[in-house]
Amino acid sequence: MMTQDDSPLSLSVLDIFKVGVGPSSSHTMGPMNAAHRFALDLLERGLLTQTGKVAVQLYGSLALTGRGHCTDRAVQLGLEGFDPATLDPLAMEPVLARIRETRELHLLGQQVVPFDEALDLLFHRDQVLPHHANGMRFSAFDAAGALLCREEFYSTGGGFIVRASEFGRSGAESAPVVLTHAFTNGASLLERCRATGLDLHELVLANETAFRPVTETRSRLLQLWSVMQACAERGFNAQGLLPGVLKVRRRAPKLHRMLSEAANPGPMEAMDWVNAWALAVNEENAAGGRVVTAPTNGAAGIIPAVLMYYRRFESGSSEEGVLRFLLAAGAIGMLYKRNASLSGAEMGCQGEVGVACSMAAAGLVAALNGTNEQLENAAEIGMEHNLGLTCDPIAGLVQIPCIERNAMGAVKAINAARLAMHGDGTHKVSLDMVITTMRQTGEDMKSSYKETSQGGLAVNVPEC
Ligand code: SF4
């Protein structure tokens, strides 16, 4: 199911990190992007004004956990023309209430069509489309009921989508660009660094010039850092229960208050803060708030928590260090995206929390001015000890085990970076070996442990 070819990467760090809304990049942002894309297809093909009805069908993991992951809401918002990158989370509820009340969708805000959610948005829990566990089919009909257009999309993790007709084709999920320093895996990335004498983050920044000027890359990365900080801050100030049947109480606000008021914080202060930051971001994600997908929403708390740890607890930390962190972490995310997958529905949680841990470990080494070899070692350690991690969200909500798992992933990432920084970068298991192992483990994993809520905690813990 994963794309495997010899073509070099043509991804940007801004494909790996993007602003979105919770709770899921694969089940919320991807479907919203696909629905929006389908509505734009209708417009571009001159079919929008002829459209009298639309129907949406969800398959596989999207059908099994889509309600808990808000896939139904995302699809409707996407058809209305909303984009996760710019959508104000507070604007969602009034739009959805209007759709429910009027039983009408405003396609791209222009074409009003009847829409009965119970009949026009179907969850096929027992069917999977051929290429990927996260499949969607969109159909448009004219007023007489004749089919105008039908498209299938897949949500492949991290907010990426691909049309069925382009699945497996190189560059189907990103713009085809030629990077200055082409690489396909960890070994070729390190080799390019050696050949050019560049630090890994410098090489990635040079590659980004294929997409935009350096100054714009820097400012957009710092903007993402601001969104991460704002997200944690909102998480600290929010109160009460998270949405959904589990009635999970937010823990970050109380922990934040305790840490802020502690007269003698004790030797584990840094770890407590890392936990607080990770919980805050993922509670916001679970509540449908604005997050930075890093590289997924379910794992969105790990990189912010490790970055905040760096800024608060590492002497000499700086904004330049934040940039080094994000560039290096982004490159590691690209390797997983190309050579395995970022999708919990394909890889289990190794593809989400495991990848974010690996990226954060590498990012922290870059921020601390470690060597390229130490960075690669940290990324490898970050994944090696997440191999086999399953995805079994209770009630299909991105809450248990997801929120706490981000705190664990962030702490593990810091330890991976420390282990690597105490060595000279030489080690037995390469990053490429562990990425291959993760992919094979994900392929071997039973589907009940891959974002279907049909195994693990999801079947052993009562929903309420
Ligand atoms: S268990 Fe992991 S992969 Fe599954 S929804 Fe939660 S964070 Fe995502």
- Regarding the beta carbon of 352 and ligand 1, being less than 6 Å apart is answered yes
Which atom of ligand 1 is nearest the CA belonging to 405? Answer: 7
What is the chain's pLDDT, residue by residue, as a tens digit (464 residues)? 444 456 778 899 999 999 999 999 999 999 999 999 999 999 999 999 999 999 999 999 999 999 999 999 999 999 999 999 999 998 999 999 999 999 999 999 999 999 999 999 999 999 999 999 999 999 999 999 999 999 999 999 999 999 999 998 766 677 678 899 999 999 999 999 999 999 999 999 999 999 999 999 999 999 999 999 999 999 999 999 999 999 999 999 999 999 999 999 899 999 999 999 999 999 999 999 999 999 999 999 999 999 999 999 999 999 999 999 999 999 999 999 999 999 999 999 999 999 999 999 999 999 999 999 999 999 999 999 999 999 999 999 999 999 999 999 999 999 999 999 999 999 999 999 999 999 999 999 999 999 898 999 999 998 76
Q: What is the pLDDT of residue 168?
A: 85
Q: What is the CATH number of domain 24-163?
A: 3.30.1330.90
Sequence-separated (6 or more) residues with CB below 8 Å from residue 186:
335, 376, 379, 430, 431, 432, 435
In 314-371, which residue ranges form alpha helices assigned H by DSSP?
319-339, 344-347, 353-367
Rounded CA separation 23/290 (Å): 9
Return the residue whose CA atom lies nearest to atom 4 of ligand 1.
391
CA of 297 relative to ligand 1 center, distance in Å: 9
Q: What is the pLDDT of residue 178?
A: 87
Which atom of ligand 1 is nearest the CA belonging to 352? Answer: 3
**Which of the listed residues 134, 353, 441 should we mutate to test ligand 1's pocket, taking the one with most ligand atoms within 8 A of CB?**
353
In 197-301, which residue ranges form alpha helices assigned H by DSSP?
200-208, 214-237, 252-261, 269-286
- Quickly count: other Cβ atoms within 10 Å of residue 269's Cβ: 14
H helix or E strand, kind and range, residue 120? helix 117-120
Cα separations in angstroms, 453 against 297, 338, 398, 408 = 17, 26, 11, 21
- Regarding the beta carbon of 458 and ligand 1, being less than 6 Å apart is answered no
CA of 351 relative to ligand 1 center, distance in Å: 9
The CB-side HSE value for 436 (13 A sphere, CA atoms) comes to 9
Domain boundaries of the chain, sorted by first residue: 24-163, 186-460
- Regarding the beta carbon of 299 and ligand 1, being less than 6 Å apart is answered yes
Rounded CA separation 42/322 (Å): 41
Phi and psi at 428, nearest 5°, equal -80, -45
- Tokens standing for residue 272: 């407590």
CA of 120 relative to ligand 1 center, distance in Å: 28
- Regarding the beta carbon of 344 and ligand 1, being less than 6 Å apart is answered yes
DSSP state of 297: S
- Regarding the beta carbon of 456 and ligand 1, being less than 6 Å apart is answered no
